[in-house]
Amino acid sequence: MKLIKYLKPYLLFAIISPLMMMGEVLADLCLPYLMSFIVDYGIAENGMAEILKNPTALRIVELLFGEGGYTQMNIIVTFGALMLLITLIGGFFGTFCAYTAARAAQGFGHDVRRDAYRHVMSLSVEQTDRFTTGSLVTRMTGDIAMLIEFVEMILRMFVRAPMFLIGGSIMLLSLHVNFGVVLLCALPVLLLSLGLVLSRAVPIFGVVQQKLDRVNAVVQENIAGARVVKAYVREDYENERFRRANGELRDRNLHVLRLMAIIHPIMSIVQNLAVIAIFAIGGYEITSGISDMSLGTIMAGVSYVTTVLMSVMMITMMFQSISRALASGKRVRELLDSTPVIVGGEQQQGAGSEIAVSFRGVGFRYPGTTGRPVLHDINLDVRRGEMLAVIGATGSGKTSLVNLISRFYDPTEGEVLVDGVPVREYELDVLRKKLGFVQQKSELFSDTIEGNIRWGKPDATREEVVAAASVAQAAPFIEGFTEDYETFVAEKGASLSGGQKQRMSIARAMVRRPEILILDDSTSALDLATEAKLRTGLKSALRGTTVIMIAQRIASVKDADRIAVIEADGTIRHCAPHDELLRVSETYRDIVSSQRQSGGEANE
């Protein structure tokens, strides 16, 4: 029911479409009746005598050819022209119905897809991980496409099928009441057979969508990670993984199709038996002289009984579409009904505190996990304009710590403050505009180099873009391209090296001139000489900006104002300059020692 509101803006089209369909159906129902006049009066040997018994048909012919102008050819021409005219009128109604139904359905789908995408953008990292990327793509494409098809079908078939069923039955009985016996026998058999098939097929539709999710997920993973797959020569393994997922989807689809394939033979058998029954009843009535039934009446009866049974088939297909649309609608509603875990507050500005970032008794564990928390009892203040480095063993929680500042996740204990205000109280846009975030994995978009850097500040001038690229040490390689800043970046930055992508990501954050710059191991692909130039550029360009830098190399952090060392248990016991940490922190000394032994401090 929640999705019905998306049809309200297109309510006029949704109302006009069924009305137009009524006109088309009425036109179609008239045709067999008019055809019976042609057969009985224009083709039959005694047609001229029979038309005199039908004043209505007689007057129609006289309107075109004048009084006494009825001949068998004139009768054929008159009712043939009338059938053509009614066909054209029905075609007009049908075309207008298709147009209005398409407008309503496509508008509905556009609005649902728009809101679904916006909702996905508002979800937290935790929620998008839970849905999985493949499932989100399927929900916003395949499932919504199924709903569009359903809405268009309902606006047309919901009127067409019942009207054919009811109108066809009335017209059939008006021809001869004995024809009703055929319907009484055929309809229950057909309905029972179709009901048994659909009761088994409907539950499988939801499973088919889940299998499609899996196929999409495998395809997306392998396209995104193509280089890793090739580097480790895992093509055969990934081909086998896709074969299994694709095979499961095929098997489920075949199961449904095998069940649905039964419908057409059943329909064909019942329909042909009904036609034979109409001929049998008509032939018996004529040969026995029980009634004055004509050949035209029998032919019209055949058309109407076929129409009625086909309408039952259409209604069955409607139920099939409804069942599939319900499965898709449930998945789309599940997405739209998911409440964002991370919700912004109302705070518009900071308190002007000298402490830029403050962690007070912070603890954190990832949703759905148990055991030791990632971070525990973190108490740390980062002063305004300070360069704080964060170092620790792999998996110690360094990235988790800075993710709490931007509210990618919320702490499970304690609170994080930015500029003296708890981050939960900020509007999310206000909070994140204070930050420049350069993540471990450099994410670039299919755009020009300048367009990618402008992501940090959409209204940045060319001079600001160039200045940011210069500080990030990206200008030399950018200006080496033929089109320099207008060079187009391939999807996910595939045309750039790891170091180039990192420097562009830093430039994107720099152009924003943020209050707080977070560098999450974002210089790992740079050589020490380039990194040294970058640190020098940052110091001169970011005076007054708070910098929080995560790094693995001692050479990258030793010049920071303070270095916070995250222990293996997720706590911070020491936060001090490099020289002091060498005296007081055993963990820091171990890191320094291990890097010296491996040559990591060769350039120190």
SS3 of 282-328: HHHHHHHCCCCCCHHHHHHHHHHHHHHHHHHHHHHHHHHHHHHHHHH
* CATH 1.20.1560.10 domain locations along the chain: 2-337
Supply the pLDDT for residue 24: 92
* DSSP class of 577: -
pLDDT over 50 (residue 501): yes
575 pLDDT tier (thresholds 50, 70, 90):
very high
Overall size of the chain counted in residues: 604
Q: Record the tokens describing residue 296, joined without a space.
A: 């035209």
| Residue bearing the bigger pLDDT, 369 or 164 | 164
Residue 81, SS3 per DSSP: helix
Q: Record the tokens describing residue 62, joined without a space.
A: 């006289």
Residue 182: other Cβ atoms inside 10 A: 22
Fold classification of 2-337 is ABC transporter transmembrane region fold (1.20.1560)
Residue 546, SS3 per DSSP: strand
The residue ranges of DSSP E strands in 86-185, in sequence order, are none
Supply the pLDDT for residue 416: 94
456 pLDDT tier (thresholds 50, 70, 90):
confident
Mean pLDDT for 4-26 is: 92
Tell me which residue of 438, 550, 445, 433 sits closest to 505, measured CA to CA.
Answer: 438
- Pair 541, 464: CB distance under 8 Å: no
601 pLDDT tier (thresholds 50, 70, 90):
very low
| Residue bearing the bigger pLDDT, 202 or 136 | 136
pLDDT over 90 (residue 563): yes
* CATH 3.40.50.300 domain locations along the chain: 377-597
The percent of residues in the chain predicted with pLDDT above 70, rounded, is 96
Residue 442: other Cβ atoms inside 10 A: 21
Q: Which stretch of 37-51, 153-167, 240-254, 584-598 has the lowest confidence by average pLDDT?
A: 37-51
Distance CA 252, CA 444 (A): 38
Distance CA 503, CA 511 (A): 12
Rounded alpha-carbon distances, angstroms, from residue 491 to 225, 407, 444, 453, 494: 13, 27, 7, 15, 6
Residue 573, SS3 per DSSP: strand
Residue 503, SS3 per DSSP: helix
pLDDT over 50 (residue 603): no
Distance CA 199, CA 598 (A): 67
Mean pLDDT for 386-405 is: 89
| Residue bearing the bigger pLDDT, 166 or 47 | 166
pLDDT over 50 (residue 93): yes
- Pair 542, 517: CB distance under 8 Å: yes
Q: Which stretch of 170-179, 206-215, 398-407, 448-457 has the lowest confidence by average pLDDT?
A: 206-215
Give 310-319 pLDDT, tens digit per residue: 888 788 778 7
Residue 388 CB-density burial (10 A; 0-12 exposed, 13-18 middle, 19+ buried): buried
Distance of CA 204 to the CA centre of its chain: 21
Mean pLDDT for 518-524 is: 85
Sequence-ordered list of residues with C-beta below 8 angstroms from that of 477, at least 6 positions apart, any chain: 500, 503
Give 226-283 pLDDT, tens digit per residue: 767 777 778 888 888 889 988 988 888 888 888 777 877 888 888 888 888 888 888 8
The architecture of the domain spanning 377-597 is 3-Layer(aba) Sandwich (3.40)
604 pLDDT tier (thresholds 50, 70, 90):
very low
Give 204-230 pLDDT, tens digit per residue: 777 887 788 788 778 877 776 776 777
Mean pLDDT for 574-582 is: 91
Tell me which residue of 506, 508, 598, 511 sits closest to 552, measured CA to CA.
Answer: 598
| Residue bearing the bigger pLDDT, 28 or 441 | 28
Q: Record the tokens describing residue 225, joined without a space.
A: 């990670």
Supply the pLDDT for residue 338: 85
Residue 518, SS3 per DSSP: strand
> Does an H or E element contain 381, and which?
strand 375-383
pLDDT over 70 (residue 52): no
Distance CA 190, CA 195 (A): 8
Is the dihedral angle over the CA atoms 66, 67, 71, 75 positive or is it negative? positive
Q: Position 510: which residue type?
A: M
Supply the pLDDT for residue 97: 93
- Pair 314, 157: CB distance under 8 Å: yes
Q: Which stretch of 20-24, 417-421, 436-440 has the lowest confidence by average pLDDT?
A: 436-440
Give 543-554 pLDDT, tens digit per residue: 788 999 998 888
Supply the pLDDT for residue 534: 84
- What is the full DSSP assignment across 21-53? HHHHHHHHHHHHHHHHHIIIIIISTTHHHHHTT
Tell me which residue of 271, 362, 350, 340 sits closest to 570, measured CA to CA.
Answer: 362
Residue given tokens 């809405």 in the structure block: 151
pLDDT over 80 (residue 286): no
Give 112-147 pLDDT, tens digit per residue: 999 999 888 888 877 887 787 777 888 888 889 989
Sequence-ordered list of residues with C-beta below 8 angstroms from that of 326, at least 6 positions apart, any chain: none
The percent of residues in the chain predicted with pLDDT above 90, rounded, is 22
Is the dihedral angle over the CA atoms 560, 561, 566, 570 positive or is it negative? negative
Supply the pLDDT for residue 598: 63
368 pLDDT tier (thresholds 50, 70, 90):
confident
Whether the full predicted model's pTM is greater than 0.85, yes or no, is no
